Structure 1
């Protein structure tokens, strides 16, 4: 079992920020999903709090929330261990997402989306690309989650939305940090803007096909070789 030795995770400072616990929870969730916080490693709330520039209390509360979601587990008197997912578990998550999200995107496109809704989603799509350009993986994962949930919310099905939220937050993109600087991450990130273009044009076939291809990246370039690389 690895224990956090105080080596910094790439975390932002939250000094003077509002909604502190929510922001810390969101950031730590992104750090786990992106692999910035490594599977099997035990992290202490005081150590993470020092990097955030805040007291340990909101960090501990955030970690307990992530423990309830299964992203970390409590290690008595030591901290919180990041849980790992096997390739089989990632396959199961990807399969379920592929069954739900592409046909939902088709239905949303067929029903039509207002220009106002598309306009509100554009900054999130742009934010994903900007995060990819600067290789800010925590921001990339966090904004990506916001984008897809906001888009799927247009289907008007609260249970579907919570199911997808659970699947996406349970997933891991272990290979994200291993991608070389270049086109692979950026091209995938640009698919969000392309998806909005297809939805705006009313191209249900194209939107569904792009969503299916986009999901395949979770078990493609972003996660291949992940567990062996992380444990080496």
Structure 2
């Protein structure tokens, strides 16, 4: 019985670590935690209302993903993402996601595509509420869910990692300018194109949608 309780405790701790990691990823991506700033696990834990241990474990997970780096005796620094790194990550995503969206359009059952409509609507609703954390969570579930319909779990894992590394920096600026809502509505438009069997149109929209991630770096893009 003691061993069982110990295993249950480990599972609970792992779940809390993963939840904290998701919150911190969203805070970094939205700009709440700025690149270059240093944060200690106890301070973050106090803000989240949890102990320092799951926060420290979560930050070590983010360090492996390249989002933070340990600073001796101080905590963790939010890493800078260069324009070159972002372009490289997005190029990889485009090479993978655009043709995969076309293949899913041609092969996925209509019911499977329709099952993602509530998630696409969650993205729009979160943008309307200015809920950046909710937006990021729903956006991740929608895109990885679509790619999952291709039946390749390794592909989904690779894109999931690239999404973490590319980050949606500048999301808050997009929200303030109103451009976030346009990006959110593209998810519903993408589903409609796929349900209509328009593989070429879906691929083109996916390509433009990934381009939007690049413009998030510039709150005042040109016409």
TM-score, structure 2 as length reference:
0.87
More helix by share: 2
Equivalent residue, structure 2, for 1:177: 172
User: Residues of 2 paired with 1:52 and 1:208: CA distance?
Assistant: 40
SS in 1 for 2:33: coil
Aligned to 1:11: none
Q: CA RMSD in A?
A: 2.1
Q: Which of 219, 223, 229 does residue 217 from structure 2 map onto?
A: 223
Gaps of at least 5 residues in structure 1 are 1-17, 227-232
Match of 1:93 among 89, 93, 103: 89
Q: Give, in whole Å, the separation in 2 of the partners of 1:39 and 1:113.
A: 42
* 1:87-166 aligned within 5 A: 87-115=83-111, 117-166=112-161
The 8 Å contact of residues 43 and 80 in structure 1, kept in 2 or not, is answered as: yes
| 8 Å contact from structure 2 (residues 108, 149) kept in 1 | no
126-135 or 204-213, which moves further after superposition? 126-135
- Answer yes or no: is the 8 Å Cα contact 1:125–1:193 preserved in 2: yes
CA displacement at 1:182 relative to structure 2: 5.1
Identify if the C-alpha distance between structure 1 residues 154 and 171 changes in structure 2 by more than 3 Å, giving closer, same or farther: same
**Which residue of the partner structure matches residue 25 of structure 1?**
21
Cα deviation code 1:108-143 (max 9, x no counterpart): 00113341x223312211111122112222221222
Q: Secondary structure at the match of 1:102?
A: helix
Please report how far the alpha carbon of residue 35 of structure 1 lies from its aligned counterpart in structure 2 after TM superposition: 2.1
Instruction: Report if aligned partners of 1:91, 1:219 keep a CA contact under 8 Å in 2.
Output: yes
Among 48, 56, 62, the residue aligned to 1:60: 56
Alpha-carbon distance between aligned partners in 1 of 2:175 and 2:164, rounded to the nearest angstrom: 24
CA distance in 1, matches of 2:120, 2:168: 19
2:79 matched to which residue of 1? 83
- Find 2:205's aligned residue among 207, 210, 218: 210
Query: Aligned-pair distance for 1:211?
Result: 0.5
Unaligned runs of 5+ in 2: 1-13
Equivalent residue, structure 1, for 2:9 = none
Task: Show structure 1 runs of 4+ deviating over 6 A.
Answer: none
- Check 1:120–1:21 CA distance in 2 against 1; reply closer, same or farther (3 A cut): farther
Aligned counterparts of 2:30 and 2:150: Cα–Cα separation in 1: 27
Partners of 1:72 and 1:29 lie apart in 2 by 10
| Rounded Cα–Cα distance in structure 1 between residues aligned with 2:177 and 2:64 | 36
Which shows bigger deviation, 40-49 or 177-186? 177-186
1:195 maps onto 2:190 in alignment: yes
